[in-house]
């Protein structure tokens, strides 16, 4: 039986054996005394205590509620003892002792995925994953843009990963993100490097401020004014660049979404109203070769500018300078080709509907024994089912119908009642169609079938043809 005490380490409460507590307390005090003259000593100790608390938490379970001496010894061995790196200095001394100093406290090398706050452009997802896999995040960013352009899922995936993947906030998390052992020595080095980087920035700012002040003391007002203008321009330029990157990102997103919707509609995955591009092409074009050529022309005419906008947005977002003459000339050539194809197809389609032919079929109605005829539209089961629907009308009197099995192009008849020239009742059915010439239009007219049924004084009209 051993006496235990309660310990609060980095905000986590532990039950720990008294002798283990003494060892751990002495260990932390030794580290604190070693770093008493170091820059960022408070941050170093906070990260070390946080890491030790994390390691001790892993050793607690339902069958073991207290921290034992063996647990503390394992943690100390993993973190490294101060005497293992106390002799590290600078220059040749550090080089000679570097290998020996790292080995005792190397501990477990564990990689974890975090968002990198130091190398981020937007959310740090690509930079963090790049650190995890030891690859340049630029390739991940280019891959993300490519996935966005091809399928549109890149943006959604990035947002999900931004939400799911935590940001590396502590030094220990940044070390785990890079796959470096989380020990006292590496924590110290990481924080001291960050402090040194901050020092250099502060010195640069101080130097600029001194130079600016000296310019005033020497009464170099024009030079001081120039420096003030340069400083203001620099700040304003930074703001403008940040806004520019945001606008470039939004341009990529908007153009990518438009591109996906455009391609989906173009290849039959979308509709204009209730009519798809494929159905519309069946009406306008005489063969599949003509429709395929038209789709190619539209794809080049609209798709190339969208791709160039995305390309320009990516260059602005990633700070790529210079112009690529080959890309500009190639894209311009494709766009002009698309324009010429559209003009050619448009001329052919207009020519295919340039002539019109009509067929007039007149018949006398049988006497009904009365002077009144009743008109009724014949019921059509294809229009009365729950799954049937009328589609978008391309023009008055024409449209599409989905009867559950296939979509059909139909025409709606128009009834016009006029005074007869004699004492009889007459029914006149006039059909017409268009074609490249009168003969072609007449052939199309002959394919139209429409009937009116008479039962005594009742005339039943088909609702469509």
Stretch 270-294: mean pLDDT: 65
Q: Is the pLDDT of residue 143 over 80?
A: no
Specify the DSSP element, H or E, that contains 298.
Answer: helix 288-317
Say if residues 158 and 142 touch (Cβ distance below 8 Å): no
Q: Which residues, 6 or more positions from 25, have their beta carbon under 8 angstroms from its beta carbon?
A: none
Decide which of 230 and 111 is more confident.
111
CA 301, 304, 306: angle at the middle one, nearest 5? 110
Q: Is the pLDDT of residue 129 over 70?
A: yes
Say if residues 144 and 154 touch (Cβ distance below 8 Å): yes
Distance between CA atoms of residues 279 and 400, nearest Å: 9
Decide which of 201 and 72 is more confident.
72
Say if residues 215 and 223 touch (Cβ distance below 8 Å): yes
Decide which of 274 and 318 is more confident.
318
Find where tokens 């008294």 sit. Answer: 18
Nearest to 164 by CA among 203, 200, 125, 201: 125
The pLDDT score that the predictor gives to residue 213 is 58
Say if residues 294 and 281 touch (Cβ distance below 8 Å): yes
Indicate the SS3 state at residue 395: strand
The pLDDT score that the predictor gives to residue 391 is 46
CA 57, 59, 63: angle at the middle one, nearest 5? 110
Q: Is the pLDDT of residue 388 over 70?
A: no
Residue 25: both structure tokens together: 């307390």
Say if residues 365 and 426 touch (Cβ distance below 8 Å): yes
Say if residues 137 and 146 touch (Cβ distance below 8 Å): no
Reported pTM: 0.42
CA 235, 240, 245: angle at the middle one, nearest 5? 130
State phi, psi for 272 to the nearest 5 degrees: -105, 100
Residue 72: both structure tokens together: 């503390």
Q: In sequence order, what are the beta bridge partners of 397?
A: none
Decide which of 125 and 320 is more confident.
125
Residue 203: both structure tokens together: 């010195």
Nearest to 124 by CA among 139, 141, 111, 110: 141
Q: Which residues, 6 or more positions from 97, have their beta carbon under 8 angstroms from its beta carbon?
A: 87, 88
> Which value, in Å, is the radius of gyration of the alpha carbons in the chain?
40
The pLDDT score that the predictor gives to residue 190 is 72
Specify the DSSP element, H or E, that contains 260.
Answer: helix 221-266
Range of lowest pLDDT (55-59, 98-102, 120-124, 446-450) = 98-102
Q: Is the pLDDT of residue 98 over 70?
A: no
Q: Which residues, 6 or more positions from 184, have their beta carbon under 8 angstroms from its beta carbon?
A: 31, 48, 79, 80, 82, 85, 105
Decide which of 421 and 232 is more confident.
421
Side-chain half-sphere exposure of 88, counting CA atoms within 13 A? 18
Nearest to 464 by CA among 359, 365, 383: 383
Residue 456: both structure tokens together: 């005594």
Stretch 244-259: mean pLDDT: 78
Q: Which residues, 6 or more positions from 272, have their beta carbon under 8 angstroms from its beta carbon?
A: 265, 280, 392
Q: Is the pLDDT of residue 178 over 80?
A: no
Q: Is the pLDDT of residue 92 over 50?
A: no
Distance between CA atoms of residues 237 and 227, nearest Å: 15
Q: Residue 5 — very low, low, confident or very high, per pLDDT cuts 50/70/90?
A: confident
Stretch 347-351: mean pLDDT: 80
Distance between CA atoms of residues 210 and 224, nearest Å: 11
DSSP assignments along 1-50, one per residue: ---EEEEEETTEEEEEEHHHHHHHHHHHHHHHHHTTTSTTHHHHHHHHHH
Say if residues 127 and 206 touch (Cβ distance below 8 Å): no
Residue 130: both structure tokens together: 């790049």
Q: Which one-letter DSSP state was computed for residue 118?
A: S
Q: Is the pLDDT of residue 121 over 70?
A: yes
Range of lowest pLDDT (38-42, 91-95, 186-190, 275-279) = 91-95
**What mean pLDDT, rounded, does the chain reach?**
73
Q: Residue 271 — very low, low, confident or very high, per pLDDT cuts 50/70/90?
A: low
The pLDDT score that the predictor gives to residue 99 is 38
The pLDDT score that the predictor gives to residue 229 is 60
Distance between CA atoms of residues 450 and 411, nearest Å: 10
Distance between CA atoms of residues 102 and 95, nearest Å: 11
Domain extents for the chain? Answer: 4-102, 249-352, 355-461
Q: Residue 279 — very low, low, confident or very high, per pLDDT cuts 50/70/90?
A: low
């Amino acid at each position: 039986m051993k006496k235990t005490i309660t310990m609060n380490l980095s905000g986590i409460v532990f039950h720990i054996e008294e002798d283990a507590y003494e060892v751990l307390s002495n260990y932390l005090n030794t580290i604190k005394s070693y770093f008493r003259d170091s820059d960022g000593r408070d941050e170093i100790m906070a990260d070390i205590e946080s890491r030790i608390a994390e390691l001790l938490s892993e050793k607690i379970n339902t069958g073991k509620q207290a921290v034992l001496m063996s647990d503390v010894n394992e943690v100390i061995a993993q973190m490294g003892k101060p005497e293992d790196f106390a002799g590290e200095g600078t220059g040749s001394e550090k080089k000679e002792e570097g290998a020996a100093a790292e080995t005792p406290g190397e501990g477990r090398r564990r990689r974890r995925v975090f968002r990198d706050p130091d190398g981020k452009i937007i959310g740090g997802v690509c930079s963090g994953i790049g650190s995890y896999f030891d690859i340049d995040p630029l390739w991940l960013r280019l891959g993300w843009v490519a996935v966005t352009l091809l399928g549109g899922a890149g943006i959604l995936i990035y947002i999900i990963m931004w939400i799911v993947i935590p940001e590396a906030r502590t030094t220990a998390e940044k070390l785990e993100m890079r796959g470096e052992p989380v020990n006292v020595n590496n924590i110290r080095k990481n924080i001291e490097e960050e402090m040194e980087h901050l020092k250099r920035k502060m010195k640069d700012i101080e130097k600029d401020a001194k130079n600016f002040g000296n310019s005033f003391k020497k009464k170099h007002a024009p030079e001081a004014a120039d420096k003030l203008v340069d400083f203001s321009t620099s700040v304003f330029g930074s703001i403008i660049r940040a806004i520019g990157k945001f606008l470039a990102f939004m341009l990529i997103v908007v153009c990518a979404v438009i591109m996906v919707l455009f391609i989906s509609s173009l290849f039959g995955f979308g509709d204009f109203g209730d009519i798809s591009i494929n159905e519309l092409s069946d009406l306008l074009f005489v063969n599949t070769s003509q429709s395929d050529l038209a789709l190619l022309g539209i794809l080049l005419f609209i798709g190339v500018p969208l791709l160039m906008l995305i390309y320009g947005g990516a260059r602005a977002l990633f700070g790529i300078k210079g112009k690529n003459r080959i890309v500009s000339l190639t894209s311009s050539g494709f766009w002009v080709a698309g324009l010429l194809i559209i003009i050619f197809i448009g001329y052919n389609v207009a020519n295919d509907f340039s002539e019109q032919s009509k067929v007039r079929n007149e018949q006398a109605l049988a006497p009904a024994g009365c002077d009144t005829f009743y008109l009724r539209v014949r019921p059509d089961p294809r229009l009365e089912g729950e799954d049937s629907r009328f589609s978008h009308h391309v023009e008055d009197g024409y449209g599409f119908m989905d009867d559950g099995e296939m979509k059909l192009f139909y025409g709606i008849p128009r009834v016009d009642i006029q005074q007869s020239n004699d004492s009889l009742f007459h029914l006149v059915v006039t059909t017409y169609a268009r074609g490249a010439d009168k003969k072609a239009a007449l052939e199309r007219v002959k394919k139209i079938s429409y009937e009116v049924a008479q039962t005594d004084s009742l005339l039943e009209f088909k609702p469509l043809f």
